[in-house]
A and B are shown apart, each in its own frame.
Chain A
Amino acid sequence: MSMDRRKFLKITGLSLAGLTIQPAFRLFSKPEQKRWAMVINLNACSKKDGCRDCIDACHRLHNVPDLANPKDEVKWIWNAPFERVFGGQGYTTLNEVLKNRSVLVLCNHCENPPCVKVCPTKATWKREDGIVMMDYHRCIGCRYCMAACPYGARSFNWKDPRPSINEINMDFPTRMKGVVEKCNFCEERLAKNLLPACVEACKEKGLIFGDLNATDSDVRKILKSKFSILRKPHLGTEPKVYYIL
C-alpha cells in the first residue's frame, strides 16, 4: 500500500482530532447514571390482609408459573413473615405485631451481587443502572448463584414451566426447564418509562420506586425522612430494596 505525505498527515490529523473529540462528546452527552431502588413501606403494605395485588401483577406479566408443589416453586416476589425475613433466632423479644407481619421479598439488586461473581458463564450480570439481569439462554443451570444468594431470591425451573402458566403473556418470554430466573425490577417497563408492575399494582402505595441518584426522586425523599432497614446488611451486598417499619 502506498501513501503520500499529504494523505498520511490528513489521516493522522483526523485521528488525533477524533481522540480529543470523543471524551468531550461523552462529557456533554452522558446522562446522569441512574441507580434504581425500591422502598417497601410496611405500614402501608400490610393494611389489607392477604393482599397479593403486587405478586399477581408481577407473576402474570412475567409468565411466572404457578406450581403448587413448594419443591418446584418459582417466585419473583412473595410474602414471608417478618421474623424469618429479618434474621430468625435473633428476634426473641420482637413486638408481636411486627413478628407475624407479612413482608414482601424480592431480588435485592445488590450493589455487590454475590450471584454475579459466582456465575461460571456470565449468564447473570449487573447493569450500569444496578439491575441484576439474567440471560435465560446462556444459563447452564448449575445453580451456583442460588447457593450464593443470601436472600433466597432466585428460582430454578425444576420442570418445564409452560404448562403451569395460567395465561401466557405474549409480550414477555417464557422460560425453559433447567434455567435460573428471578425478579428483573421490570427492566422491560423501565425502558418504556413505566414503573415496575408491582409498584403500579399496589393500591396502598406501599411500594415506592425510583432513581437513588436523583436528589428529587421519591425514593430519595422518603429514605431521607424515614428510618429504613435492609436485609442482612452485615454481608456487604448493599441491597437496593429498603424497608420502612
Chain B
Amino acid sequence: MLEKALHGARRYWGWIALLLLIVIAGFISYLVQLREGLGITGMSRDVSWGLYIANFTFLVGVAASAVMVVLPYYLHNYKQFGKITVLGEFLAVSAVIMSIMFIFVDLGQPSRVFNVIFYPSPSSLLFWDMIVLTVYLILNLLIGWYTLDAEHKEEPVPAWVKPLIILSIPWAISIHTVTAFIYSGLGARAFWLTALLAPRFLASAFASGPALLIIICIIIKKVTRFDPGKEAIQKVAQIVTYAMLINVFFLMVEFFTVYYSKIPEHIAHSDYLLFGLEGHMTLVPYMWVSIILMFISLILLINPGTRKNENILVTACLMVFLSIWIDKGLNLLIPGFTPSPLNEIFKYRPTLPEVLITLGIYAIGFLILTILFKIAIEMKLLAKKQDS
C-alpha cells in the first residue's frame, strides 16, 4: 500500500518539500545542540524543562484522543465514523512519534537512552511512559494498517485485530494518565500536585485532538475528492464541545481550590500564571489569550447554528487547539518551576535553535501524517470506485 504515497499532484509534492525543508532546519539545529549541549536552549537550572517537554505533554493528549473516534465506532457501532476512524488512528501514530521525539531531543545524553531499558526502574513514571507510548504506537500502527488492508481487499478485519482494537481504548486513557502522573506525583511542585491533573489532561486531550481531526478532515474535503461525511464531522464537533466544557470546568475547579484555600505556596504559582508575581508577567498574556479563546470557542461550539456552519466550526476548532496548546504546554510547565524551590523567578524564553528543533519535529509528524493519510484516502477512493 505504501506506493500510494509516491503519486501525487504538484500541490502534494510542494507540501512534502516544504515539510522536508523545515525538517532539515530542525535537524541542523539538533546537530548544534548535540555538539554544544542543551545550553543552547532557554532552559536553566531553575526552569529545567521547556518547549520540548511542553509539546511532548500536549501531543500525548492528541495521540490519546484517537479513542474518541475508535470507541463510538467499535463499541457502539456508530457507522458514520467508519470513514474517519483510520484517520484518527493514523493521527495517533504521528502524535505518538512526535511525543517520543520530543522526549529524545530533551535528553542531555541521548546516546545513553537505552539505559532506560538496561536498568529498568518501575518506580519512575518515565519508565512506564516509555512502555505505554511504545505499545500504543504499535497498537495504532497495526490496527490502522490492517483495517485499511482489509477494506482494500473487501474482507473483514482479521480476527486477531479485534482484541487489539478493544485494548487500544483503555490504553489511550493510560498514556495520558501516566503522562499526568509524571507531574502530579511530585511533592516538590505545588502547581502540579493535584489529583485533578490526569482527568484534566484527558478532558483537554479529548477537545484538542478531535478539534485537530476536524480541521484536517475539512482540509481533506477541500483538497481531495474524499469526503469524510458531514454527519461524522458534526458528531466529532459535539465531542469537542462536551470535552471543552469539562476542560474549562476542571480548570476553574483547580483555581477555586488554590484561591479559596489561600495556601501561599500554591497561590504563588497560579499568581505567576494569571496575574504575575513580583512584577514578572511573562505568562500572563498567553494565559488570558488561552482563557478568552476557550470561552469564545465554547460559545461557537455550543450554539448549534454556528457549530453546523463548517467555516465557523473550523475557526472554533482552531481556537480550541490553540488555547489548549497554550494551557497544556508551556503554561502548564513553566508555573510548575516558577517560583523555584528557593522562591526565585527565572524567566524562560525558548531560543531560536530550540524553536527550530520543535518545528522540525512537528514537520516530521506532519510528514508521517500526510503519507499515512494519503495512503488511507487513496485506498478509500479506490474502494469507492470499485463499488460503483
Q: How far is the CA of A159 from the CA of B36 in the complex (A)?
A: 6
Interface SS of chain A: loop
**Given A89-B265, A120-B126, A150 and B44 contact (CB-CB distance below 8 Å):** no
* A71 contacts the other chain (CB 8 A): yes
On chain B, the residues within 8 Å of A70 by CB distance are 44-45, 346
Across the interface, do B107 and A121 meet the contact criterion of CB distance under 8 Å?
no
Smallest CB gap from A105: residue in B: B342
Q: Which residues from chain A contact B182 at a C-beta distance below 8 Å?
A: 144
From B38, B106, B121, B336, give the contact of A122 (CB < 8 A): B121
Verify A144–B45 contact, CB threshold 8 A.
no
Q: A167–B114 Cα gap in the complex (Å)?
A: 34
Complex-state Cα separation, A149 to B189, whole angstroms: 9
Query: Are B187 and A150 closer than 8 Å at their CB atoms?
Result: yes
For A92, the closest partner residue in chain B by CB is B264
Task: Judge whether B43 is part of the interface by a CB distance below 8 angstroms.
Answer: yes
Bound-state CA distance A177–B37 (Å) is: 6
CA distance A179 to B111 in the complex (A): 12
Verify B119–A147 contact, CB threshold 8 A: no
Within 8 Å of chain A (Cβ to Cβ): is B124? Answer: yes
User: Given A72-B39, A88-B268, A118–B126 Cβ distance below 8 Å?
Assistant: yes
A138 touches B115 (CB 8 A): yes
Chain A nearest CB, measured from B226 CB (Å): 41
Q: Give the CA-CA distance A16 to B115 in the complex, in Å.
A: 39
Our count of residue pairs bridging A and B at CB distance below 8 angstroms stands at 153
Q: Shortest beta-carbon distance, B105 to chain A, in Å?
A: 11
- Whole-angstrom CA separation of A70 from B265 in the bound complex: 24
Taking A89-B264, A138-B115, A158-B38 as contacts, is the C-beta distance between A143 and B121 under 8 angstroms? no
Given known contacts A89-B264, A152-B340, A147 and B109 CB-to-CB distance under 8 angstroms: no
Q: Are A88 and B43 in contact (CB under 8 A)?
A: no
The reply to whether B115 and A147 form a contact with Cβ atoms under 8 Å apart is no
Most buried by A among B188, B339, B344, B346: B188
Expressed in whole angstroms, the minimum distance between the Cβ of B326 and any Cβ of chain A is 21
Is the beta-carbon distance between B108 and A141 smaller than 8 angstroms?
yes
Among A89, A150, A235, chain B packs the most CB atoms within 10 A around the CB of: A89
Closest to A136 in B: B109
A149 and B39 in contact, given A90-B264, A140-B112 (Cβ under 8 angstroms): no
**A174 at the binding interface (Cβ < 8 Å):** no
Size bracket, chain B contacts: 35 or more
Give the contacts of A82-135 with B (CB-CB under 8 A): 83-85, 87-90, 105, 114, 117-123
A177 touches B108 (CB 8 A): yes
With A121-B116, A178-B38 as known contacts, state yes or no: A156 contacts B108, CB within 8 Å: yes
A138–B115 CA distance with the chains assembled, in angstroms: 7
Tell whether, in the assembled complex, residue B115 and residue A121 are in contact, meaning their CB atoms are under 8 Å apart.
Answer: yes
* Residue A80, interface by CB 8 Å: yes
- Highest count of chain B CB atoms <10 Å: which of A88, A89, A105, A142: A142
Determine whether the beta carbon of A122 is less than 8 Å from that of B119: yes
Contact yes or no, A141 B121, CB < 8 A: no
A140 partner residues in chain B, CB cutoff 8 A: 107-110, 112-113, 115-116
> For the complex, is B138 an interface residue (Cβ under 8 Å from A)?
no
- Whole-angstrom distance from the CB of B376 to the nearest CB of chain A? 35
* CB-nearest residue of chain A to B37: A177
Q: Is B49 an interface residue (CB 8 A)?
A: yes
> B342 near A179 (CB under 8 angstroms)?
no
Whether, in the assembled complex, B388 has its beta carbon less than 8 Å from a beta carbon of chain A, the answer is: no
Q: How many Å from the CB of B278 to the closest CB on chain A?
A: 10
Known: A70-B45, A71-B44, A158-B43. A119 touches B107 (CB 8 A): no
A178, B341: Cβ atoms closer than 8 Å? no
Residues of chain B in range 195-254 having any CB-CB distance to chain A below 8 Å:
none
Q: At the interface, yes or no: A155 with Cβ under 8 Å from chain B? A: yes
B342 and A141: CB pair below 8 A? no
Closest to B123 in A: A117
B164 within 8 A of A: no
A148 at the interface (CB under 8 A from B): yes
- Does residue A146 face the partner (Cβ distance < 8 Å to B)? yes
A236-B193 Cα distance, complex, nearest whole Å: 15
Bound-state CA distance A74–B44 (Å) is 10
Instruction: Please tell me if A202 contacts chain B, counting CB pairs below 8 Å.
Output: no
B44 and A120: CB pair below 8 A?
no
Against A, the Cβ 8 Å flags (1 = close, 0 = not) of B55-90 are: 000000000000000000000000000000000000
B residues within 8 A CB of A235? 187-188
Residue-wise interface mask of B (331-367) relative to A, using a CB-CB cutoff of 8 A (1 in contact, 0 not): 0000011011111101000000000000000000000
- Please tell me if A160 contacts chain B, counting CB pairs below 8 Å: yes
Q: B46 near A: Cβ within 8 Å?
A: yes
**A contact residues around B340 at 8 Å (CB):** 152
The reply on B48 being an interface residue by CB < 8 A is yes
**Chain B residues whose CB sits within 8 angstroms of the CB of A152 once the complex forms:** 45-46, 340-342
Distance between Cα atoms of A75 and B124 in the complex (Å): 25
Q: Does A142 lie within 8 Å of B342, measured CB to CB? A: no
- Hey, what's the 0/1 contact readout for B92-136 against A, CB within 8 Å counting as 1? 000000000001001111101101101101011111001000000
What are 28 A-B contacts with C-beta separation under 8 Å? A70-B44, A71-B45, A89-B268, A114-B186, A114-B187, A117-B124, A118-B125, A119-B121, A121-B115, A138-B112, A140-B110, A140-B115, A142-B106, A142-B126, A143-B108, A147-B48, A149-B188, A152-B341, A156-B38, A156-B45, A156-B48, A157-B37, A157-B108, A158-B39, A159-B37, A177-B39, A177-B108, A178-B107
Q: 6 more A-B contacts (CB under 8 A) besides A90-B264, A144-B182?
A: A71-B346, A114-B187, A123-B115, A123-B119, A140-B107, A149-B188
- 3 tightest A-B contacts by CB? A141-B108, A178-B108, A158-B39
